[in-house]
Amino acid sequence: MTLGIIIVVLGLIIDRGTKWWAIGTLKGSEGLTVIKDFFTLDYLENRGAAFGMLQNKQWLFIVITIVVVIGMIFYLLKYKPKFKLVYVSIAMIIAGAIGNLIDRISYNYVVDF
């Protein structure tokens, strides 16, 4: 359980830090070219799900996220996956989901880049 908490906390720190960086650096700019003609970081305010589906349904996403995160925590506590990869993967998904939940509540969109 301790490993899961550490992973979630570190994941949230990385998530929040990179999003603050994106807001401060990429928002309002033409993006940041990392590799010319191949890899560019652009700022995006995603008000939907993947690829912008279900635009402006923030409360739906908030409720779904809370239910899914509780379900994943319940799964980890009840079944205690034997393989660390499963445990670590679920903890990382929880961290990302909570990070996006914070964005939806704070900004009414998810910061993507």
- Domain extent, residue 94, equals 2-112
The predicted pLDDT at position 112 comes to 96
Q: Tell me the pTM.
A: 0.89
Phi and psi torsions of 50, nearest 5°: -55, 135
Beta bridge partners of 27: none
Q: What is the pLDDT along the chain (113 residues), one digit of tens a residue?
A: 789 999 999 999 999 999 999 999 999 999 999 999 999 999 999 998 877 678 878 899 999 999 999 999 999 999 989 999 999 999 999 999 999 999 999 999 999 99
The answer to whether residues 22 and 85 touch, using CB atoms and an 8 Å cutoff, is no
Residues sharing a CB contact under 8 Å with residue 47, sequence separation 6 or more, in sequence order: 55, 56, 58, 108, 109, 110
The predicted pLDDT at position 48 comes to 87
**Count of CB atoms situated within 10 Å of the CB of 111:** 24
The predicted pLDDT at position 53 comes to 77
Enter the tokens of residue 108: 């009414």
Percent of the chain past pLDDT 70, that is, above it, reads 99
The predicted pLDDT at position 50 comes to 77
Burial of 56 (0-12, 13-18, 19+ CB in 10 A): exposed
As for how many domains the chain has, the answer is 1
The predicted pLDDT at position 1 comes to 73
